[in-house]
């Protein structure tokens, strides 16, 4: 498919021209339009505060243009898809030759074409999303979409060089506005409880540093059961990994006065983490599974009799004694959940974190599970739970953490405090409505994340 991606640009006009013309393209025309597209993109990037030379680099160009459009995640996906499409175009002949050795030529050619068409459609979808973002940022009518789709070099030229075409904000200025929301305050350290002072958690992706979490400070007393809320991409998993030391952030995390980062080996069994996926051997019995867990999670000098005593205690707590000799694969869904939690509870952790422990359970079974977690918290443990159905068990929680993804796609703290306080703060009765209020509009939410992050900052540091 020579000419589909001349330098990196891809549009639907090229795609259908290939189908109608039998893959014959006027190369000089595409070379000229690509040069015009790069020139226009250069100016658009400059208008948004980004160095224009990125327009000359395929892959980087798509990504930087997505930043101008406020569609950075789509830009990352588009860059990967465009790269795969270029790679397929380079390796396509070799792949075809390889396939011809084991199948008819028509079948081999069909497979190569299907692969290229599939990746091309991904490029089309994400390109359209970025075009929509540019139209919104430049305050233009939606009918411009057709011109961007059919001949992207024309609007790139007009918007890039036209003085009356200006973006509503620059990328760097926008980042600076988000920085203003940051506050380098801190939560007071607690001798008994969890103290989190997280300045930021960053990764390097696609030519720049990306901030996943920023400015999260809280102190959770022992004996509290806490609900962790947030929409997709808000940073719930990243936050949990930062707290338990699995992925270190620029932060100080203290559990009962001990530093999780500097004293990780000593503290690692003070934290129990139950992931959403169950990781147990179905061919083992409940008892052998817990005994193996005790060997791994209790100090090596603990006698076998003491380990067995601890296993019996945990089975009693979670109601597993009647099925201790049953194979794991024969357990019900609720029993498997309780066993998964029991494995982490063997070490008697001070902090217990659970990611959707009620996944796949009906209302009654989920309720019973959360009642048990409430009892664990009442023994002086801290229990932090992620669940997508919080309202059916919200009465069992003391506090709620709400993480929100702001306009810079960074996870921020929009609330930490009592359940009733959260209802009053957000003006919503249900926890699921609170999540909807801070989700971005393109995700079906109300798009109020920045507003609530700023409001909470003002309340927290007033």
Number of domains in the chain: 2
pLDDT of res. 224: 96
Compute the average pLDDT of residues 103-130: 78
Q: Does 135 lie in the same domain as 202?
A: no
Domain assignment present for residue 85? The answer is: yes
Are residues 127 and 252 located together in one domain of the fold? no
Mean pLDDT of the chain: 82
Could you tell me if residue 172 is inside a domain? no
All residues at 6 or more sequence positions from 182 whose CB lies less than 8 Å from its CB, including other chains: 214, 215
Q: Which helix (H) or strand (E) holds 259?
A: strand 258-259
Statement to judge: residues 242 and 358 lie in one domain: yes
Contact in structure between 292 and 224 (CB atoms under 8 Å): no
Q: What is the pLDDT of residue 10?
A: 45
Domain carrying residue 304:
178-460
% residues pLDDT > 70 (the chain): 85
State how far the Cα of 442 lies from the Cα of 65, in Å rounded to an integer: 19
Q: Is residue 153 domain-shared with residue 193, that is, in the same domain?
A: no
Task: Report pLDDT for 6.
Answer: 38
| Residue 19: pLDDT band with limits 50, 70, 90 | very low
Q: Is the pLDDT of residue 395 over 90?
A: yes
- In this prediction, residue 24 carries a pLDDT of 43
At 180, give phi and psi (nearest 5°).
Answer: -65, -25
CA 207 distance to own-chain centroid: 19
Q: Among residues 110, 134, 167, which one ends one of the domains?
A: 167
User: Does residue 303 fall inside a structural domain?
Assistant: yes
Interval 347-363 mean pLDDT: 86
Please check the confidence at residue 221 and state whether its pLDDT lies above 90: yes
Which residue's entry shows tokens 């007033």? 462
- Strand (E) or helix (H) holding 96: helix 72-100
Instruction: Using the Cα atoms of residue 388, residue 337, residue 237 and residue 216 in order, give the sign of their dihedral.
Output: positive
Mark whether 115 and 206 lie in a shared domain: no
* Dihedral sign computed on CA atoms, order 95, 101, 103, 109: positive
User: Quick check: 401 and 242 in contact, CB under 8 A?
Assistant: no
**Which range (99-103, 133-137, 285-289, 364-368) has the least confidence?**
99-103
Q: Domain check: are 343 and 428 in the same one?
A: yes
Between 80 and 184, the higher pLDDT residue: 80
Distance CA 142, CA 131 (A): 10
- Residue 33's pLDDT is 86
Q: How far is CA 335 from the centre of its chain?
A: 29
pLDDT tens digits, 437-456: 999 887 788 889 889 998 99
Residues 106 and 201 both lie in one domain: no
Q: For residues 146, 148, 153 and 159, what is the CA-based torsion angle, rounded to 10 degrees?
A: 110
Q: Report the pLDDT averaged over residues 226-231.
A: 93
pTM: 0.66
Distance of alpha carbon 133 from alpha carbon 441, whole angstroms:
13
Residue 401 has what pLDDT?
96
The pLDDT of 302-311, averaged and rounded, is 88
DSSP collapsed to 3 states, 32-63 = HHHHHHHHHHHHHHHHCCCCHHHHHCCCHHHH
Q: What is the pLDDT of residue 26?
A: 53
Same domain, 155 and 244: no
Residues 151 and 235 in one domain: no
- Which of 114, 145, 167 terminates a domain? The answer is 167
């Amino acid at each position: 498919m020579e000419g589909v991606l001349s330098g990196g640009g891809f549009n639907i006009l090229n795609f259908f021209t290939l189908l109608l013309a039998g893959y014959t393209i006027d190369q000089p025309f595409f070379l000229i339009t690509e040069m015009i597209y790069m020139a226009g993109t250069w100016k658009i990037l400059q208008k948004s505060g980004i160095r224009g030379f990125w327009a000359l680099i395929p892959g980087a160009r798509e990504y930087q243009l997505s930043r101008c459009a406020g569609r950075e995640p789509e830009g990352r996906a588009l860059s990967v898809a465009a790269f795969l499409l270029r790679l397929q175009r380079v390796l396509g002949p070799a792949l075809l030759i390889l396939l011809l050795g084991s199948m008819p030529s028509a079948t081999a050619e069909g497979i190569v074409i299907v692969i290229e068409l599939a990746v091309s459609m991904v490029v089309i979808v994400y390109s359209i999303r970025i075009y929509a973002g540019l139209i919104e940022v430049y305050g233009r009518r939606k009918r411009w979409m057709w011109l961007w789709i059919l001949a992207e070099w024309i609007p790139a030229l007009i918007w890039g060089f036209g003085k009356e075409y200006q973006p509503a904000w620059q990328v760097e200025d926008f980042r600076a506005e988000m920085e203003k929301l940051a506050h380098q305050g801190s939560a007071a350290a607690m001798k008994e409880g969890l103290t989190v002072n997280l300045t930021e958690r960053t990764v390097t992706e696609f030519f720049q540093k990306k901030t996943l979490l920023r400015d999260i400070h809280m102190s959770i007393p022992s004996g509290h059961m806490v609900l962790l809320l947030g929409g997709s991409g808000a940073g719930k998993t990243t936050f949990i990994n930062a707290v338990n030391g699995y992925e270190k952030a620029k932060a100080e995390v203290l559990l009962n006065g001990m530093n999780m980062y500097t004293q990780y080996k000593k503290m690692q069994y003070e934290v129990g983490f139950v992931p959403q996926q169950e990781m147990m051997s179905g061919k083992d019995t409940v008892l052998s599974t817990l005994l193996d867990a005790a060997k791994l999670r209790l100090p090596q000098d603990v006698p076998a009799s003491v380990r067995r005593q601890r296993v019996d205690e945990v089975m009693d707590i979670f109601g597993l004694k009647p099925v201790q000799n049953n194979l794991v694969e024969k357990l019900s869904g609720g029993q498997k959940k309780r066993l998964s939690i029991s494995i982490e509870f063997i070490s008697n952790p001070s902090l217990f974190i659970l990611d959707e422990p009620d996944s796949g359970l009906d209302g009654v079974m989920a309720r019973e599970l959360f009642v048990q977690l409430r009892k664990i918290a009442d023994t002086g443990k801290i229990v932090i739970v992620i669940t997508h159905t919080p309202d059916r068990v919200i009465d069992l929680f003391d506090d709620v953490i709400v993480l929100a993804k702001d306009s810079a796609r960074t996870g921020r703290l929009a609330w930490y405090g009592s359940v009733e306080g959260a209802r009053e703060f957000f003006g919503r009765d249900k926890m699921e409505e609170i999540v909807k209020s801070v989700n971005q509009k393109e995700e079906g939410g109300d798009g109020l994340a920045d507003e609530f992050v700023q409001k909470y900052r003002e309340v927290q540091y007033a």
